[in-house]
A and B are shown apart, each in its own frame.
Chain A
Amino acid sequence: MDWAPIWLSLKLATITTLLLLVIGLPLAYWLSKGRSVVRVMLEALITMPLVLPPSVLGFYLLVAFSPRHGIGAWLAHTFNIQFVFSFPGLVLASVIYSMPFMIGPIKSALQQLPISLAQASYTLGKTERETFVKVLLPNIKSSVLTAIVMTFAHTLGEFGVVLMIGGNIPGVTKVASIAIYDSVEGMDYHTANNYSLLLFAFTFVIVTVVFIFNRNKIKSPLE
Chain B
Amino acid sequence: MITAEIHKKLNAGSNETGLHIKLQADKGSITVIHGPSGAGKTTFLKILAGLTTPERGTITVDGQVWLDTVNCINLSPQKRRTGFVFQQYALFPNMTARQHLEYATTDAQWIERLLKTTNLALFADRKPEYLSGGQQQRLAILRAMAIKPDLLLMDEPFSALDTPTKTNLVTDLKQLWDELQTTVVIVSHYPQELTAIAASELYIGAV
A36 at the interface (CB under 8 A from B): no
Known: A116-B86, A116-B88, A120-B84. A127 touches B94 (CB 8 A): no
Whether a CB of chain A sits under 8 angstroms from the CB of B29 is no
A-chain residues with CB within 8 Å of residue B50 when the two chains form the complex: 122
CA distance A138 to B76 in the complex (A): 24
When A114-B90, A135-B94 are in contact, do A122 and B51 touch as well, CB less than 8 Å? yes
Instruction: Check A139–B93 contact: CB distance below 8 A.
Output: yes
Residues of A near B91 (CB, < 8 A) are: 120
**Do the beta carbons of A139 and B94 come within 8 Å of each other?**
yes
Scoring B residues 29 to 46 as 1 if CB is less than 8 Å from chain A, else 0, what string do you get? 000000000000000001
**A118 (CB) vs chain B CBs: closest residue:** B90
Whether A205 is near chain B, meaning CB under 8 Å from some CB there, is: no
Q: Is B84's CB under 8 angstroms from A135's CB?
A: no
Task: Map CB proximity to B onto A126-163 as digits: 1 under 8 Å, 0 otherwise.
Answer: 11000000110011000000000000000000000000
Closest to A130 in B: B103
Please pick, from A114, A119, A135, A139, the residue contacting B77 in the complex, using a CB distance under 8 A: A119
Within 8 A of A (CB), among B32-66: 46, 49-51
Chain B residue numbers with a CB within 8 Å of A40 are none
Contact with A along B95-107 (1 / 0, CB 8 A): 0000000011000
In the complex, A127 Cα to B76 Cα: how many Å?
Answer: 10
| CB-based contact B92/A117 at 8 Å | yes
B84 — nearest CB in chain A belongs to which residue?
Answer: A123
Q: Is residue B78 within 8 Å, beta carbon to beta carbon, of the partner chain?
A: yes
- List residues of chain B with CB within 8 A of the CB of A186: none
CB pair B92–A135 under 8 Å, yes or no, is: yes
Query: B147 contacts which of A117, A119, A125, A139 (Cβ < 8 Å)?
Result: A125
Residues of chain B within 8 A of A138, CB atoms compared: 94
Q: Contact between B81 and A119 (Cβ–Cβ < 8 Å)?
A: no
Q: How many residues of A contact B (CB 8 A)?
A: 16
Q: Is the CB of A134 within 8 A of B103?
A: yes
Contacts of A114 in B (CB 8 A): 88, 90
Q: Tell me if B143 counts as interface (CB < 8 A to partner A).
A: yes
Across-interface contacts of A135 in B (CB, < 8 A): 92, 94
- Report how far A120 CA is from B154 CA in the complex, Å: 12
Residue B83 is within 8 A (CB to CB) of chain A in the complex: yes
Q: In the bound complex, do residue A123 and residue B93 qualify as a contact, i.e. CB atoms below 8 Å apart?
A: no
Chain B CB within 10 A, most for which of A120, A123, A126, A139: A123
CA gap between A194 and B151 in the complex, in Å: 68
Q: Is the CB of B92 within 8 A of A122?
A: no
Cross-chain contact A119 with B94 (CB below 8 angstroms): no
B92 adjacent to A123 (CB under 8 Å) = no
Distance between A64 CB and nearest chain B CB, rounded to angstroms: 42
Task: Select the residue from A121, A122, A134, A135 with max chain B CB neighbours within 10 A.
Answer: A122
Q: Is A38 part of the contact surface with B, judged by Cβ < 8 Å?
A: no
CA distance A123 to B77 in the complex (A): 5
With A and B bound together, what is the CA distance between A127 and B51 in angstroms?
14
Give, as a whole number of angstroms, the nearest-CB distance from A145 to chain B.
14
User: In the docked arrangement, what's the CA distance between A125 and B49, Å?
Assistant: 11
Is B136 close to A, CB under 8 A?
no
Which residues of B does A touch, CB under 8 Å?
46, 49-51, 76-78, 80-84, 86, 88, 90-94, 103-104, 143-144, 146-147
Known: A123-B144, A124-B103, A126-B103. 6 other contacts (CB 8 A): A116-B86, A117-B90, A120-B91, A123-B51, A126-B78, A139-B93
Chain A interface residues (CB < 8 Å from chain B): 114, 116-117, 119-127, 134-135, 138-139
A-B CB contact pairs (8 Å), 6 listed: A119-B49, A121-B92, A123-B51, A123-B80, A123-B82, A124-B147
